[in-house]
Amino acid sequence: MIAPPQANPSPSLGRAAWVLCAGGMALIAAGCAGASEPRTGADSGSATTQGDTSTDAADAGRPAVCTGYFGQPTAKTGLDTTLCSPQCDCGGASFSFVPPSPATLAAWSATKFPAMATPTTDPYTADVPPTVAPGVCGVRKEPGGGHTLESAADADTLAKSGATLTHQGRCGLCSTLADLAVYARETDLTQPVRACGLEHFDDLAGNVACLRKIGFTAPCAWIWAYNTRNTRVRCLDVCLKALSAPYHLADGSLNPCLQCDEDKSGPVFKAVAGRTRRNSGLASALCRPCAQVHRIAHAYDL
């Protein structure tokens, strides 16, 4: 979850600066109205990568600068904590990622939602590939028990309906709190997802079963598996060459395999999955420009 603004302990040391659109910090979770996204990607489920992009609002109704990279670096990241940390400074206001407690993760995992249909065809082979529709996704606790997902045009509309914002972008196959728990618990999803993809190279159902063991719901596991297959087809050569490479180059950019996945598989994944880590405000082993991270409280009525 994202903590309240606080002082930024690490200044921007040679980090890229990212210009944000006009708006207030209170709107940061809803993104910039009418703004185009820099490069559409996804927390994709390839055997090699994950990622997504989004835009945010700036401070005090004026253009502002959001500095630094947001993430939780590991030995595989390729960037250290002087360049990437779970904290961002945007327009003079800072926000930090605070990992959920084990009890919170367990509560999210146990939260029941109505059964969601799994995809029966590969969305990457559709004549007209799905695209991201603007909006937000929320969680609603129903009077009779259980929870439902609700998409709305914006965060204000969602709040008026009594739902709690869970991510930017409309709801999809990975929008449940059980999938949120996986995204928040696993700092580095690249490694287990890669292992599933390599172990079940030509076995889509086997890959899904493997992804389910990580904790994904069945619908979410299917879109990750489809993403894996698409990346294997579109990016195999470049990914084989980068198999042991750090996730980031020294300048902060993704390695060629991760970038190929983000470009070739990310847009469809984001449209179908709904939830990604950047649009959910979660820090991971992939470091993302702070301007691409949405600020989400993740405080649900459970």
Domain count, the chain: 1
- Asked whether the beta carbons of 218 and 212 are under 8 A apart, the reply is yes
266 occurs within a structural domain: yes
Q: Name the residue among 255, 198, 266 with its Cα closest to residue 232.
A: 198
pLDDT of residue 1: 52
Say how far apart CA 56 and CA 67 lie, in whole Å: 13
Say how far apart CA 70 and CA 66 lie, in whole Å: 11
Say how far apart CA 220 and CA 280 lie, in whole Å: 15
pLDDT of residue 66: 80
**Dihedral Cα 126, 128, 132, 137, nearest 10 deg:** -60
For residue 9, give the amino acid letter: P
299 occurs within a structural domain: no
- The mean pLDDT values, 10 residues at a time, for the chain of 302 residues are 38 28 27 32 40 34 67 95 90 86 96 91 94 94 92 95 96 98 95 93 95 97 96 94 93 94 96 96 94 91 90
What is the token pair recorded at 229?
């297959």
Range of the domain at 213: 2-34+41-292
- Asked whether the beta carbons of 8 and 94 are under 8 A apart, the reply is yes
Integer angstrom CA distances of residue 207 from 38, 188, 228: 31, 18, 9
- DSSP characters over 32-56: -TTPPPSS------SSS--------
Say how far apart CA 12 and CA 196 lie, in whole Å: 37
220 occurs within a structural domain: yes
**Dihedral Cα 77, 257, 199, 189, nearest 10 deg:** 40
61 occurs within a structural domain: yes
Say how far apart CA 55 and CA 213 lie, in whole Å: 32
302 occurs within a structural domain: no
Q: Name the residue among 247, 262, 289 with its Cα closest to residue 70.
A: 289
Say how far apart CA 279 and CA 282 lie, in whole Å: 8
198 occurs within a structural domain: yes
Say how far apart CA 227 and CA 264 lie, in whole Å: 9
272 occurs within a structural domain: yes
169 occurs within a structural domain: yes
What is the token pair recorded at 263?
């470009």
Say how far apart CA 63 and CA 93 lie, in whole Å: 14
